[in-house]
Amino acid sequence: MTAMAAVGRAALHEYRAGGELVASSLLLIDAEQVGGYLYGADPGLYGRVNVTTMLTRTALREAVDRGAARFGLLRGREEYKSGWRAEPARNDRLLLVRPGDPRGLGYAVVVRAAARGRDVVRERLPAVRAAVAAARRTARNPRLLLRGRSAGR
C-alpha cells in the first residue's frame, strides 16, 4: 500500500480521539473513482459516533479533492447505502485457470452456490436477512448485545 499511496492510488486515513488511534480507513483511487476498501474501528467508538458516516464523509472529501467522477461504496446492498442515493453497479470476477483444472471448477461451484444462497435469503427469507443484519450490527458494536440483555431483564 505504501507504493500505491506514493503514486496517488491509495490513501490511508486515521481518526484519533484524545491522541489515541480509534479508526482508520484505506481508500483505493484511480483516475475516475475513489472507493472504500478496508476500515477498522475501536468497538467503543460506535457508541459515540456514527462510524459509517464519519468514514464516508472523509472518503467523499477525498473524492471531491481529487476531482473523481465517482465514489464507490463497494459491493453489497447494505441499507445505509440507499441513504446516499447509491446506484448499483455490476461487479464481476474473472477466474483464470488451466483448462480441466479441478481447482478452478471447484472454486466456481462454491462461488456460484454462495451467490445463489445470498439471493435466496435476500429474496425469500426476510426474517433470516433481518437476523443476519442484526448479528452483523452486534458484531461491529458489542455494546448492542449488552444493551439488549439489560433491556430484557
Comparing 60 with 74, the larger pLDDT belongs to 60
- Segment 126-147 shows an average pLDDT of 74
When divided into structural domains, the chain yields a total of: 2
Q: Assess whether 53 and 108 both reside in one domain.
A: no
Print the domain residue range for 128. Answer: 92-153
Which of 113-149 are b and which e, b meaning 16 or more Cβ less than 10 Å from the residue's Cβ?
eeeeeeeeeeeeeeeeeeeeeeeeeeeebeeeeeeee
Give, in degrees to the nearest 5, the angle at Cα 54 between 47 and 69: 155
Q: Assess whether 70 and 96 both reside in one domain.
A: no
Residue 36 has pLDDT above 50, yes or no: yes
Sorted by sequence, the CB contacts under 8 Å of residue 11 that are 6+ apart come out as: 5, 26, 27, 29, 34, 62
Contact predicate 25/58, CB 8 Å: yes
- pLDDT class for 133, splitting at 50, 70, 90? confident
Average pLDDT of the chain is: 84
Q: Assess whether 68 and 44 both reside in one domain.
A: yes
Q: Assess whether 97 and 79 both reside in one domain.
A: no
- Segment 4-20 shows an average pLDDT of 93
Comparing 150 with 87, the larger pLDDT belongs to 87
Q: What is the CATH number of the domain that holds 14?
A: 3.40.630.30
Residue 34 has pLDDT above 90, yes or no: yes
- Give percent above pLDDT 90 in the chain: 32
Return the pLDDT at 152.
42
Q: Is 0.75 surpassed by the pTM of this model?
A: no
Return the pLDDT at 142.
66
Q: Assess whether 51 and 113 both reside in one domain.
A: no
